[in-house]
Chains A and B, each alone.
Chain A
Amino acid sequence: MEALFQKENNMKIYPYLNSRGFSNCYLVLNENIQKAIIIDPGQFTSSIIKKLESNSYKLEAVLITHSHPNHTSGLKTLQKLYTLPIYAADWNIAGSKESTIKGCGKLNLAGIEIEYKQVPGHTTDSIVYKIENALFTGDTISAGKIGNTSSKYSEYILKNNIAEKIFSLPEDTIILPGHGPITSVASEKQFNIDMTDSILKNEPDSAAG
């Protein structure tokens, strides 16, 4: 599937549904300078390559939300074709100290300002990336649910992180998840089945299991 989301400053976002793992990959293009970044290449397909090559875009970097294969398996193919930095919290994926990112901070890649925040819970290396009002969440949160966790404690950590780091964003923030349809912070605050049931901050003991 191919779609288009265009911002006023000539930045375009194209989501691609990976047929293996049914995850979403996003291509972000800066039309002003013909550069691009890719987020979570679960597959690096010919349609993505065609989009880049036929329009002479230079792919400048890869952003990884977490190290699960359905978000990273396309790296093998991608690295055969391009030499470029891979930004991730997991050194094994990033492959260099310079592109291993932790905590929160900012990147400027392909002329695009990107904020990142580490949001552990689904995995320890989970990161969300924000470009303008679009938030790329990987498996941290998707429409109506949060990511799977390996324990009750991880679930508690994840819920708190979402409450603090994602629900604090403006309600019009558009969530572009790693799986399923788009959503917004406003929608998740009201309808996310995992986030609307409990007041998180005050119940670590019960959630820690």
Chain B
Amino acid sequence: MFFKNQSCANVLEEDQNKFVGLYICDTDLSKINLSEKKFYGCTFKRCTFNKNKIHNLFCRMCLFEFSNFNETTFEECDIKFSSFSGSILNNVLFANSNIIQTNFNGIYASKTTYDDVDLYASRFIRSSFSNVIFSNCNIKKSVFWECQNHEMNFKASNTREAIFDKNGSSLSKGK
């Protein structure tokens, strides 16, 4: 199913909670309730998420690339093998979630917190961080290469098991 405008809102607001193979681009999804929903192989490209409170979202092989997340929270979500690459995250909270083997390459994250998140084998290559906190996160085999950072904190996260490059190695020191 291919959607390039607000008409997709009707689809997502239907009673069903399982969606397969959706393709949604250039759409404002701020008013959509994504909590308790399951997405398989769905694409949300260049979409806007503003003040979404997302709880118990389930995603497998989903793309949220080049999207805009503002004042959005992801709590108790289960996201695997997905991609947020190229997205802008402003004031975003990921909490008590599994976000495993997920692509965050090229994100611009500001005032964003990963709190108690399993980020095993995720990638943060060429990402920019400003006031970003990784608190009590599993970052084993997570890759931080060529990142730009200003005010980062990895408190209680297993930085020794993450993969930092020469420049990124300073990230692990945190505050």
Determine if B65 and A184 form an interchain contact, defined as CB atoms under 8 angstroms apart: yes
Q: Which of A1, A8, A181 contacts B83 (CB 8 A)?
A: A181
Min Cβ gap B60→A in Å is 4
Determine if B61 and A13 form an interchain contact, defined as CB atoms under 8 angstroms apart: yes
Determine if A17 and B145 form an interchain contact, defined as CB atoms under 8 angstroms apart: no
Interface membership of A3, Cβ < 8 A: yes
Determine if A193 and B146 form an interchain contact, defined as CB atoms under 8 angstroms apart: yes
Residue interface bits B127-150, CB-to-A below 8 A is 1, else 0: 000000000000001010110000
Determine if B82 and A181 form an interchain contact, defined as CB atoms under 8 angstroms apart: yes
Known interface pairs A3-B60, A187-B103; A193-B126 also in contact (CB < 8 Å)? yes
Residue interface bits B49-84, CB-to-A below 8 A is 1, else 0: 000000000001101011000000000000011110
Bound complex: CA A79 to CA B125 (Å) = 38
Determine if A182 and B66 form an interchain contact, defined as CB atoms under 8 angstroms apart: no
Closest residue of chain B to A9 (Cβ to Cβ) is B21
Q: Which of B21, B65, B102 contacts A186 (CB 8 A)?
A: B65
Known interface pairs A181-B83, A182-B83, A187-B85; A8-B21 also in contact (CB < 8 Å)? yes
Determine if A4 and B40 form an interchain contact, defined as CB atoms under 8 angstroms apart: yes
Interface membership of A183, Cβ < 8 A: yes
Give the interface residue-count category, chain A: 20 to 34
Min Cβ gap A15→B in Å is 6
Determine if A143 and B85 form an interchain contact, defined as CB atoms under 8 angstroms apart: yes
Min Cβ gap A17→B in Å is 7
Interface membership of A82, Cβ < 8 A: no
Closest residue of chain B to A179 (Cβ to Cβ) is B121
Determine if A5 and B61 form an interchain contact, defined as CB atoms under 8 angstroms apart: yes
Min Cβ gap A139→B in Å is 15
Chain B residues contacting A186 (CB-CB under 8 Å) are 65-66, 86
Chain B residues contacting A13 (CB-CB under 8 Å) are 41, 61
Interface membership of A68, Cβ < 8 A: no
Min Cβ gap A176→B in Å is 8
Chain B residues contacting A8 (CB-CB under 8 Å) are 1, 21
Min Cβ gap A14→B in Å is 9
Determine if A145 and B43 form an interchain contact, defined as CB atoms under 8 angstroms apart: no
Interface membership of B11, Cβ < 8 A: no
Determine if A182 and B65 form an interchain contact, defined as CB atoms under 8 angstroms apart: no
Q: Which of A7, A172, A180, A193 contacts B43 (CB 8 A)?
A: A172
Determine if B61 and A184 form an interchain contact, defined as CB atoms under 8 angstroms apart: no
Determine if B125 and A143 form an interchain contact, defined as CB atoms under 8 angstroms apart: yes
Closest residue of chain A to B101 (Cβ to Cβ) is A181
Interface membership of B109, Cβ < 8 A: no
Bound complex: CA A186 to CA B46 (Å) = 12
Determine if B126 and A6 form an interchain contact, defined as CB atoms under 8 angstroms apart: no
Chain A residues contacting B123 (CB-CB under 8 Å) are 143-144, 180-181
Known interface pairs A143-B83, A144-B145; A191-B125 also in contact (CB < 8 Å)? yes
A144-203 CB contacts (< 8 Å) to partner B: 144-145, 172, 174, 180-184, 186-187, 190-191, 193
Determine if A191 and B105 form an interchain contact, defined as CB atoms under 8 angstroms apart: yes
Known interface pairs A4-B40, A144-B143; A183-B61 also in contact (CB < 8 Å)? no
Bound complex: CA A6 to CA B61 (Å) = 9
Determine if A180 and B101 form an interchain contact, defined as CB atoms under 8 angstroms apart: yes
Closest residue of chain A to B102 (Cβ to Cβ) is A181
Q: Which of A17, A22, A187 contacts B106 (CB 8 A)?
A: A187
Chain A residues contacting B146 (CB-CB under 8 Å) are 193
Given contacts A1-B100, A144-B125, A180-B143, 18 further A-B contacts (CB under 8 A): A3-B61, A4-B40, A5-B40, A6-B41, A7-B21, A13-B41, A17-B121, A143-B83, A143-B85, A145-B125, A145-B145, A174-B63, A180-B101, A181-B123, A182-B61, A183-B105, A184-B65, A186-B66
